[in-house]
A and B are shown apart, each in its own frame.
Chain A
Amino acid sequence: MVEWTDFERATIADIFSKMEYEVIGPAALSRCLVVYPWTQRYFGNFGNLYNAAAIIGNPLVAKHGTTILHGLDRAVKNMDNIKSEYAELSVLHSEKLHVDPDNFKLLSDCLTIVVSAKLGKEFNGEVQAAFQKFLAVVVNSLGRQYH
């Protein structure tokens, strides 16, 4: 069981309540595909990923980025049960999508950076620590059902 402090719960709730999912999601996913180009291996059918501009402007990437972020919502609303919340998604990523779980961390690092760019000074060390702890739990849960 993950122990969350009041500060951590409040911080996560606050960040996600103010988040523009259709902006942050696409920004995080496209950033991941640009900064870690090998992650493009999972998106062969997404069309033009030829360069940074193409990736950032790609509507399928944008749509999927939004989908992923809405998926994170489930953890935000159920912080005391993230592992069971994501059990099915974990199986999906392992057995159907065959995604190397190391990629979850890459995406979560990009999301952290996108949120940092958005919030600036407000996203200080303590807030970052809470946000990264949350994402670490999510990442761990998504990798849980791999075998």
Chain B
Amino acid sequence: MLSKREKDLIAEVWTKLIPVAEDIGSDALTRMFATFPGTKTYFSHLDISPRSAHLLSHGEKIVLAIAEGAQDIDQLAVSLAPLQTLHAYQLRIDPTNFKLFSHCMLVALAAHMGDDFTPVVHAAIDKYLSAFAAVLAEKYR
């Protein structure tokens, strides 16, 4: 459950991340591949070495999608509809991995924001990413 204040906070934080989308995104992915090697199995078709062109572009894509969703959290099911279809029928990433990625995104944000990544900000973003992941998996079955 997200309060209005939290939704505003989330929108504010993610808007500020748009200019550094490829840094944050690729950092989160690199952390995930290092910490949870099983996640690499979904990327056998890409070069996922740190800061590779593929990784930067892919990381950017993900962060921009999360940032876009953050602008109107109440409409997530609508704005994510195409991505829902993609993940359910084509990518078919096991949803447990969404949790692993979300955790690594939080760690990346902490490294990036330092003290500004307060417990309140952390809680709000964790809740948002959980909601995002849940919507993303909705068409799976």
Contact = CB atoms under 8 A, between A and B. Distances in A.
A123 to B, nearest CB: 6
B14 interface: no
A116 B120 contact: no
Interface in B14-54: 27, 30-31, 33-35, 50
B113 A35 contact: no
A120 interface: yes
Nearest to A131: B35
A120 B30 CA distance: 15
A120 B114 contact: yes
A119 interface: yes
A112 interface: yes
Contacts of A128: 31, 34-35, 104, 107
Contacts of B33: 125
Interface residues of A, number: 24
A129 B34 contact: yes
A30 B119 contact: yes
B68 interface: no
B111 interface: yes
Nearest to B107: A116
Interface in B99-141: 103-104, 106-108, 110-115, 117, 119-120, 122-123, 126
A97 interface: no
Given A126-B34, A129-B34, A121 B111 contact: yes
Given A112-B107, A119-B111, A128-B107, A56 B119 contact: yes
Interface in A81-136: 109, 112-114, 116-121, 123-126, 128-129, 132
Q: Which of A109, A114, A121, A129 has the most CB of B within 10 A?
A: A129
Given A56-B119, A109-B106, 8 more contacts: A35-B122, A52-B123, A113-B107, A113-B110, A119-B111, A121-B111, A125-B27, A125-B50
Interface of B: 27, 30-31, 33-35, 50, 103-104, 106-108, 110-115, 117, 119-120, 122-123, 126
30 contacts: A31-B119, A34-B123, A35-B119, A35-B122, A52-B120, A52-B123, A56-B119, A109-B103, A112-B107, A113-B110, A113-B122, A114-B110, A116-B107, A116-B111, A117-B114, A117-B117, A120-B114, A121-B111, A123-B107, A124-B30, A124-B31, A125-B27, A125-B30, A125-B33, A125-B34, A125-B35, A128-B35, A128-B107, A129-B34, A129-B35
